[in-house]
Amino acid sequence: MGGAASPYDLGVLNRRITSLIAAVAVAGLAATGCSEQSAAVRVGDTTVSRSDFEDELDLFYEDDELRTFVFGQVDRAQLRGDLAGGYAQQYVGAVAGLHVQFLVAETVLDDEGFELTDDDRSAAEDLVEQAVPGGVDRLPDDLRPDFLDGVAALTRLQDELGEEEFNEAMTAGFEQADVDISSRYGTWDTDQFTVTPPGGPAAAPGAADPASDLAVG
């Protein structure tokens, strides 16, 4: 895979997992299952609802320590876009990209014949606890399990495969993944494995834009 890293690094999470994550350069929380709400991100049959996605944008904007854990040192002012109440497109794309990354990692884990265990989730929780005061308690209850599953899938894969094989498996996973991003937030670049921002500035969270939503199941 190629492409330059975005300005939004994965910080502590990136350095703990592997160099692949720095190359992909995406950040955010984990995905939810298919719902009746409009979708922001879809990978295969799994979608991330627009409302959950925008809640996550707000969460990382407002919580400095969680934001540093995921992105590294990024000033809050850099996350705002040109429109009042909106976010910078690179930030939006980074959050969308990590949704894709987490879902691909979970698919690869399954394809490799591994299953997430309670020990894997506990290890992921410990990783967050070591990096962020208050740890996973900083995450809303409805977002916490999926976030931990995403971190657990990435760390378990690296532990099982080693960095070189992990990179190869994740690269193959990205190449095979069926990814759609709502045009409101960008498009998926199948060569760079990143989210390319749309042409205009990001709208404020919650603004009406029904034409750009993905269909969900």
d(CA 27, CA 24): 9
Q: Is the dihedral of CA 129, 148, 15, 99 positive or negative?
A: negative
Q: Is 98 left (phi over 0), alpha (psi -120 to 50) or beta?
A: alpha
Give the per-residue pLDDT at 43.
92
Q: Is 56 left (phi over 0), alpha (psi -120 to 50) or beta?
A: alpha
Give the per-residue pLDDT at 85.
64
Residue type, 35: S
Give the per-residue pLDDT at 113.
94
Give the per-residue pLDDT at 16.
39
Residue for token digits 């995406």? 26
d(CA 194, CA 192): 5
pTM, whole model, 2 decimals? 0.74
Give the per-residue pLDDT at 83.
65
Give the per-residue pLDDT at 213.
36
For the chain, 217 residues long, the average pLDDT of each consecutive 10-residue run is 38 36 33 53 90 88 84 81 77 87 92 94 89 85 85 91 90 94 92 80 48 33
Give the per-residue pLDDT at 199.
66
